[in-house]
Chains A and B, each alone.
Chain A
Amino acid sequence: MTWEHDRVDELLAGYVLGGLDPEDAELASRALVEHVPECERCRRSLEGYRVVSGDIALAAAATMPPETLGASLARATEGAARRPRRSWIGAAAAAVAVLALGGWNALLVDRVGDAETEQAALLGQLDRTQTQQVWLTDALSSMTHPKSSVVPLKGTGPTRALVLYVRGEDRLYVIGSGLPEPDGSYVLWFMRDGSAWTPGPLQPIKGAAIVRVETDASDWEHVLVTEEPSADTPTPTASPIVASTLPPK
């Protein structure tokens, strides 16, 4: 697809505001995967819109929250300081979560409106939303970092994907779009010296997915996505849907 700067710019403006309708949201997510990482002009534009989307908040009147809010946070942080912190270190302890890009606000609303959604599932969904928000914001920021690197994954089908990371950091994002509904499970793999490691499955929503992986991209030689009969497969058994070599250190 050929991307026109003005069209992308318009999509990005609506995207950071959270105001795109599903069709435009899906287009925006594709632009974020297929165009923005490789376009300096659009990356700068996105960064500028991101700042604006935070600053518009200052047009609202500052309002002191009730004291109970501060007290509640104080209790929560005291408790958190005593609990062991979740480990983010090392590939073996890597934590993975999945969220959908573009139109995901509408998708989450759709899920909430699903008559079959139980309250426990709803709470689980809301819990993921909190993390998703932070990681989505971080992924967008990564695209404009001066040390950001983007590695497109190549395939023969409609799927597009890329690995996005900041050189020297121990985390990266794998972002995909155009993922057809699988018969089994999409699994993400990192390979080195012929050995494969997976942080887990990719779970696209309406064909789009983003995964945050706590690992240094320079520790790996290849990254690929396969469709496996089961998400628990220890090694890839199918041909890659998309794959790429990762740059060495």
Chain B
Amino acid sequence: MSDTSLNAQSLPGDAELKDYFALLKPRVMSLVVFTAFVGLLAAPVSVHPFVGFCAILFIAIGGGASGALNMWWDADIDAIMRRTVNRPIPAGKVSEGEALALGIGLSGLSVMMLGLATNWLAGAMLAFTIFFYVVIYTMWLKRWTPQNIVIGGAAGAFPPVIGWVAATGTFSVEPILMFMIIFMWTPPHFWALALFMRSDYDDAGVPMLTVTHGRKFTRLNILVYTVLLAALAIGVSFTTAGGPVYIVVAVVLNALFLKGAFDIWRRDEDMSEADDFAVEKRFFKLSLLYLFAHFGAILADAVLLRTGVIG
């Protein structure tokens, strides 16, 4: 007896390379790459360009590995949420086992290679970051508490610290300030997303603040966290991490961010529905520019300092 049936549809195991790449959450990786790059270049120690390139590459791969493991664990809720239904696992292109193997393999590779390329403190920090994102945030906090994004946001805040440590081998106040900026930025960024994704998180049973405490309370928290973030971000201007470019960027962008948060707080659901959450979506887009601009400014000041333009 012979089996001549050959199913032309893709089966798990027949995914293309781009499907495996999609598992790594490339858009999140771009943020990891950029902030780690800034941390590395802002450090007061010169690194061989090839070593620096490898450090950023393996930090990015570690970030991607975290993404793959997150998609492995959250495959059930990804299949329910509109935002994530086309991810490789719910779309049937990659199996859960493949995602798990890829995540674990890339985690091990990235940690080992970062440690060998730079130093073992940086490797250990990358390992801890992967552990924090996958175990603490994805497996534990995300489905358990509405503070999931507040605490879990720390995972996204580690890359600039890893970049700094990769260059210097030690900690300092500057990378901790960079960590704090991303840490305080994460809640308003994701809560704005939750506001205009409406029932997506509710349908999946994820305890986002919009679901557990209501949307009005979420709007208030966006404002509160934005005020705290603005105070921190502008306060960084007066430390060694700040500089002339940073001061200008911080003042302008935090003023815009505060206005956006205030507008979100003042609105109610009827107003938001009427314009399809235009203010919330604008705030979310601004939050992306906010983070890239702040870290771009830190980088610009570091370059100006290194080249002797500023003292």
**Bound pair (A, B):** no
